[in-house]
Amino acid sequence: MAFVANRLAQPVMGCFRVMRDHTRMANYLFQNHRGSILVNVEGSVFLLDTGTPFSVADNPIPIAGVTFPAETCYLGIDGVTLSEQLNTPVDGLIGTDILRHFNLAVYAGEGMVQFSQLPASGEIVVPIAECAGMPVVALRVGGRVCRMFLDTGSGLSLLLPELLSGTESVGNTNAWYPLVGNYRTPFYRLETIFGDRNQSMLFGVAPEVLRPVMETANVHGMLGTELLKFYGLNLSLRDRVIRLEAQSGNQHFETA
């Protein structure tokens, strides 16, 4: 996909609202690469990652007219590492330290993200908490209430293995996660309830290296970008809420 940044925030396919007076807003195209949201910002490509509390880049990151500082490396993650793992050029990562300054809207059908000061919109409202700078949501998955990191750094949603005990897998898949790299996991189809809407979704087994982090945070897994197959996502860390907008028909969004 050719990248084009829309700094004028013009309306796109009816999903993104026009600029209001004195409101910071910018729309940027993204490429879905194995479930990873790779956003082009001013000619640089960044992984959009709600599961990482610090942004990573060699230079400050300009978004919607504001320039944000970034770490050159975080837990061994930098542009070189991301590029090697994803096998595509990546300049860095946009984490929640930047995202908390905006309301973030992501729509797979348009292949675009919006950073704005507008209130989050969407008919399905899911409150969020925060743990170590990462958003946490409570959802009913496979008949039980689970606390999940909302993590756009993972294409496949993940659960701790004990939550999948007794459930039959429907196959195996190759997956990727920034702190893990490439790995292989069985995956499972589970009914997941968002508000009053039931949706069948796929879940893999959380890699062993991630399990202590989940257990320390008292979360049961991670909700990945497969969510974008079914919903437009609006995230407001400031208001501690995500709003989901059900899409007509499943969006084509590869997650592996």
Mean pLDDT of 99-122: 91
Contact of 44 with 57, CB cutoff 8 Å: yes
Segment (H or E) for 148? strand 144-150
pLDDT at 97 (0 to 100): 97
CA torsion sign for 223, 177, 60, 64 is negative
- The Cα-based distances of 87 to 33, 83, 181 in angstroms read 10, 5, 11
pLDDT at 256 (0 to 100): 54
Q: What is the C-alpha to C-alpha distance for residues 117 and 138, in angstroms, rounded to an integer?
A: 25
Cβ neighbors of 14 (< 8 A, separation 6 or more) are none
Q: pLDDT tens digit string along 65-95?
A: 999 999 999 999 999 999 999 999 999 999 9
* Angle made by CA atoms 177, 181, 184, in degrees to the nearest 5: 85
Question: End-to-end distance of the chain based on CA atoms, in angstroms?
Answer: 18
Q: Is the pTM of this model over 0.75?
A: yes
* Pair of tokens at residue 153: 């750094």
* Strand pairing class (44-48; 171-177): unpaired
